[in-house]
Chain A
Amino acid sequence: MSDEIQVLVRGEGDAIVIDLVGDVTTFAEEAINQAYQSASDDGAVNIIFNFRENDYINSAGIAILIGVVTEARKRDQKLLMTGLSAHFQKIFRMVGLTQYADLYPSVEEALASLNGEAKT
């Protein structure tokens, strides 16, 4: 009953964007970690995880993201997250994930913040 997640890696401005399309649960672990590894292998300094607003994220999915945070800190990478619904923004704040990754409404706004423009 697992839903495949589609994970796409693309360069965008000063960042690598990892688009997550589908459920972020334990089944997404391999795909997310591979995408992160691929972005890191390409020398990414800024990585944007771009979620699709209405997808399902559970605590196992959040644990995967905490694993990514752990690796990113070791490599001095900056993580940003975009596209989350208000509900999941609340959950991410609740568990403390926002200490390690800033949230933005969109990829464009995250990129603007990297360029020193005001956070919206």
Chain B
Amino acid sequence: MGPRSNRVVELRIPSELGYEKIAREAVASVAYRLDFSEEKIEDIKTAISEACTNAIRYGSGSDARMKVVVILTADEDKLDILIKDPGASGTPPTNVKIPDINGMVEGKHRLGGMGLYIIRELVDEAGFVEAVDEDEGNQFRMVIYRVDDGEKAESEASASDTDNGGTTNE
């Protein structure tokens, strides 16, 4: 698989915590072959772990009979990741808050709720894709570019954001 190849890898993992590590290892392998830097590979691994964990816990209620589907589309300059779950807990959150760790430590907020924030900080684009059919479940998309190219990434991210209603990392 050379850097100019365009390949799609699709995984179906049981909706059970722990299986997100399969997706984590798979995406690392793909990103490595695409010559992503070590730092970006670590970022992608954490982002996909968090996204799959959300899909398992909230999108399919940790019911191992259900599946979470991960589609990795690799092209010359970016990795596009789509994570689908059955949408068991309804409409996913659209706003991402900066975690208030002081509030958590003082007991004002529950512990947790950091996954989407971490994802958005680590990848170039991240957001739920608006479902055409409500039975389709949730689809969460992330894009990470192989090389940092601020203007190019921002321009493409803005276009994608307009298309699918996702959030864009700045």
Contact = CB atoms under 8 A, between A and B. Distances in A.
Contacts of A73: 105
B19 A1 contact: yes
Contact of B46 (A3, A66, A67, A87): A87
Contacts of A115: none
A55 B19 CA distance: 16
Interface string A85-107: 11100010011110110000000
Contact of A66 (B104, B115, B121): B104
Contacts of A85: 42
A58 interface: yes
Contact of B17 (A26, A91, A99, A100): A26
B114 interface: yes
Given A1-B16, A3-B18, A56 B105 contact: no
A89 B70 CA distance: 27
Contacts of A99: 101-102
A87 B105 contact: no
A25 B99 contact: no
Contact of B50 (A58, A64, A69, A87): A58
A63 interface: yes
B39 A87 contact: yes
B53 interface: yes
A47 B93 CA distance: 37
B101 A96 contact: yes
B43 interface: yes
A19 to B, nearest CB: 21
Main SS at interface, chain A = helix
Contact of A60 (B42, B107, B112): B112
A70 interface: yes
Contacts of B88: none
Given A70-B105, A100-B105, A59 B114 contact: yes
B24 A56 contact: yes
A5 interface: no
Interface of B: 16-21, 24, 39, 42-43, 46, 49-50, 53, 99, 101-102, 104-105, 107, 111-112, 114-115, 117-118, 121
12 contacts: A1-B19, A1-B21, A2-B17, A23-B21, A27-B18, A58-B20, A59-B112, A73-B105, A87-B39, A87-B43, A95-B117, A96-B102
Given A2-B18, A23-B21, A94-B121, 6 more contacts: A1-B21, A56-B24, A58-B53, A58-B115, A87-B42, A94-B117
